[in-house]
Amino acid sequence: MSDKKCKVLIIGSGPAGYTASIYAARAGLGPVQVTGMELGGQLMSTTDVENYPGFEEVVQGPWLMEQMKKQAENVGVEIIYEMITQVDFSKKPFRCTSETTTYLADAVIISTGAKARWLGLETEKKFQGFGVSACATCDGFFFKGKEVLIVGGGNTAVEEALYMTNHASKVTIVHRRDSFRAEKILQEKLFNHPKITVIWDSVVDEILGTENPKSVNAVKLRNIKTNGVQEVPVEGVFVAIGHDPATGVFKGHIDLDEEGYMKVAAGTTRTNVEGVFAAGDVQDKIYRQAITAAGQGCMAALDVEKYLQE
């Protein structure tokens, strides 16, 4: 185990992490960035990205993240492919430890992101990016005039169903219980919407589709009370059953909210530990976009710069 000193350590290599490292490098802070096992973050698992500004045409998620990585390397960021498995923020310099190294940092930016929860079906994996998505804001546009299914019963599911009425010709929402957990006002909007149908007490058993071209054309739903199975024709499936922020390693070291997201002071990226900052999906359960994560990465680097000057 070796020690490595740095002014600022950035944990994570999604849009938040890369933006933070680019800004920190350009501020002369010599950042070290530890990428985690998912080099490039969540966008590595998607295909078309059409809402990240700056590109005339649709770009591919992995390509976009490769550009961010190259940009970070070009401005001198030291990128290390490792996982932080232990932290100690009780004294300065802060200690963040991987399998091989203990990083001793004057400031830390945590941008470890979040993971969408999936149903765990084989056919869901097969059609991910080809009709199956976990983000209506990101992919809804690709389903203009098509019939889609939303899976879930919380605020996100109901919001995604309402959002999809802007694009889809018909929206079906399936929930495994007989009532939603979502706020009442959202539920009212949903029940009154002419494009939305609700299927209660049911789960998705299988997503059906074609191989060539790879696309979804129906779902098999099973009623958990009657065991009856029905096939619903849809071209898109949006799984909206929640997200898990990647904060396990920070539990007990940084204040987290009841869902495990990092708490930050409003309008900043400051956590409760002075000198430790959080940016991107790890602290944001509302917007969850590449551009907002990148924006928060920028904020974190500026917050660090100010902190180190002080």
Ligand X SMILES: Cc1cc2nc3c(=O)[nH]c(=O)nc-3n(C[C@H](O)[C@H](O)[C@H](O)COP(=O)(O)OP(=O)(O)OC[C@H]3O[C@@H](n4cnc5c(N)ncnc54)[C@H](O)[C@@H]3O)c2cc1C
- Closest to ligand X by CB, 11 vs 162, is 11
- Closest to ligand X by CB, 98 vs 172, is 98
Supply the minimum distance, in Å, between the C-beta of residue 231 and ligand X.
Answer: 25
User: What letter represents residue 156's amino acid?
Assistant: T
- Closest to ligand X by CB, 190 vs 293, is 293
**Annotated active-site residue in 96, 139, 281, 284:** 139
- Closest to ligand X by CB, 51 vs 217, is 51
Within 8 A by CB and 6+ apart from 16, the residues are 111, 113, 279, 280, 281, 282, 293, 294, 296, 297, 300
**Annotated active-site residue in 135, 281, 284, 303:** 135
- Closest to ligand X by CB, 161 vs 240, is 240
Catalytic residue flag (residue 135)? yes
Supply the minimum distance, in Å, between the C-beta of residue 132 and ligand X.
Answer: 9
Footprint on this chain of ligand X (rule: CB under 6 A) = 11-17, 34-38, 41-43, 45-46, 49, 51-52, 83-84, 111-114, 116, 133-135, 138, 246, 249, 280-282, 288-291, 293
Supply the minimum distance, in Å, between the C-beta of residue 188 and ligand X.
Answer: 28
Q: Name the residue with tokens 């065991």.
A: 227
Do the beta carbons of residue 33 and residue 17 sit within 8 Å? yes
Supply the minimum distance, in Å, between the C-beta of residue 135 and ligand X.
Answer: 5
Supply the minimum distance, in Å, between the C-beta of residue 310 and ligand X.
Answer: 26
* Tally of residues, the chain: 310
Catalytic residue numbers read 135, 138-139
